[in-house]
Structure 1
Amino acid sequence: MRTFLAAATGLPTILLTAALVVMLCFWFLVAAGFTTTYSFDADLDLRACGMGGVPVTIAISSLTVLAWGMGVGGTLILVVFTSPGPVTGLLRMVVPVLALLAAWQLTRLFVRPLHRLFPDEPGPVSGLGRTPDRDHLDHAA
């Protein structure tokens, strides 16, 4: 347990842990009725990142949870299977960045089928700023 806490609160994984805490606080506010899941939709458009089609809060929450889990998991793997040294220290700095990139790709895959649950949200971008719905209409004509 001590190793897990050290991995979750050590640099640079603490940045992902802080994002997770902020995200959990937001969802507690949603559960208490002080805000909604659509709070940030007017502020941020995630279609260009491939995460459109769902409320921003759901996409960012998924990204945060996945990045945190992979970041802490990768750090734990480094701690358990490598000896302390400069190379391990450098790898510990790279793990959260790689975790964030992998989480972004997984979030893109995760939100795509969720688009059907949020019909009022614009769909994800599929090349040159065109949505899949318009591409389908163009091919049908």
Structure 2
Amino acid sequence: MGEFFAAALTFPAVVPSVLLVVVVAYWLLVAFGAADADWVELDIGGVPATVGLSLLVAFSWFGSLAGTVLLAPSTGVGFAVLGGSLLVGLVLTRLLMAPLKRLFPDDPPASRLDFVGRPCVIRTGRVTQAFGQAEVTAADGSSAVVQVRQAGNDTLTAGVTALIFDYDVDGEFFWVAPIWSGHHPS
């Protein structure tokens, strides 16, 4: 075990060893909930940067450790081993990106169906079976003015809150119904 630590703390393996300690500490903090796994808003081949960088460090560390043990490099050769281990780390990390990408699916694209079930505020003078617009706020806080229709004869005028309950794909409009606050208007 002493030989392992001696090799890990000898140049060139000491450089990625320090980085590996940082990576392991980071993932321990993530495991215990003290850090966020997505601290870098960056994608490396469809995989979060934290995962890609962690793999790069681990593969580079292993390559430099193997080079240190096998070659017992001098300073000049040590730089070559360090560069070679980085190259090996990059190649192996890149090879793992495609299979790992399946574990990190993209967020589904926004859809008009996301508005179904949300309240909206009527923005036109009235809503009929053939005419109307309303403003709806998406889950992310953004708002949109959309085409709306109603099936009945309820009083839906500007400023009234309604509920979007369906989307008509062919007509490209939303069906709405009034939201009553405990009493039915006369």
- TM-score, reference length from structure 2: 0.53
Higher helix share: 1
Letter of the 2:13 partner, please give it: T
Report how many aligned residue pairs link the two structures.
107
Correspondence for 2:169: none
Correspondence for 1:17: 17
Question: 5+ residue gaps in structure 2?
Answer: 108-186
- Shift, 1:11, TM fit: 2.0
CA distances 1:87-111 after superposition (whole Å, capped 9, x unpaired): 7442122101100111101100111
* Residues 8 and 14 in structure 2, CA contact (< 8 A), matched pair in contact too: yes
> Which deviates further from its counterpart, 88-97 or 108-117?
88-97
Correspondence for 1:94: 80
Correspondence for 1:131: none
Distance 1:89 1:33 in 2: 41
Out of 29, 45, 49, the position equivalent to 1:52 is 45
Distance 2:96 2:36 in 1: 21
Higher relative contact order structure (alpha carbons within 8 Å, sequence separation ≥ 6) = 1
Q: Which has the larger radius of gyration?
A: 2
- TM-score, reference length from structure 1: 0.69
Letter of the 2:71 partner, please give it: L
Question: 5+ residue gaps in structure 1?
Answer: 80-86, 122-141
Distance 1:76 1:120 in 2: 41
Q: Identity across aligned pairs (percent)?
A: 36
Distance 1:93 1:2 in 2: 24
Correspondence for 1:6: 6
